[in-house]
């Protein structure tokens, strides 16, 4: 009995986002880097994947209002992390 699991493009993007955020949190926890800096680094890396999925290779022809709103919310979150990290 063999389990055939194939991940699509967007499954890989989601996994990359989760891995970058988890990696940042892990780096902030087990190293001398502050947790905020680790999370910030993970969020910046995740932003690259979000940008790629939503604008470079979207699943629909043009981004909808919801997609644009989600992107704005994500960047506000990253901006808040930046402000909290460097204040």
The domain limits of the chain are 9-86
Tokens 């990696």, residue located: 23
Q: What is the pLDDT of residues 30-75, one digit of tens each?
A: 999 888 889 889 999 999 998 888 778 777 666 678 877 888 898 8
Find out whether 10 and 24 touch, Cβ atoms under 8 Å: no
pLDDT digits (tens, 9 = 90+) for 13-40: 999 999 999 999 999 999 998 888 898 8
Which of the two residues, 85 and 15, has the higher pLDDT score?
15
* pLDDT band at residue 87 under the 50/70/90 scheme: confident
Biggest CA–CA distance in the chain, Å, is 56
């Amino acid at each position: 009995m063999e389990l055939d699991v194939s991940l699509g493009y967007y499954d890989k993007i989601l996994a990359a986002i989760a891995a970058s955020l988890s990696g940042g949190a892990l780096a902030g926890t087990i190293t001398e880097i502050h947790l905020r800096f680790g999370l910030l680094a993970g969020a910046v890396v995740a932003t690259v994947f979000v940008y790629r999925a939503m604008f470079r290779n979207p699943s629909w022809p043009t981004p909808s209002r919801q997609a644009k709103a989600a992107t704005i919310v994500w960047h506000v979150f990253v901006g808040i992390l930046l402000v909290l990290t460097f204040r």
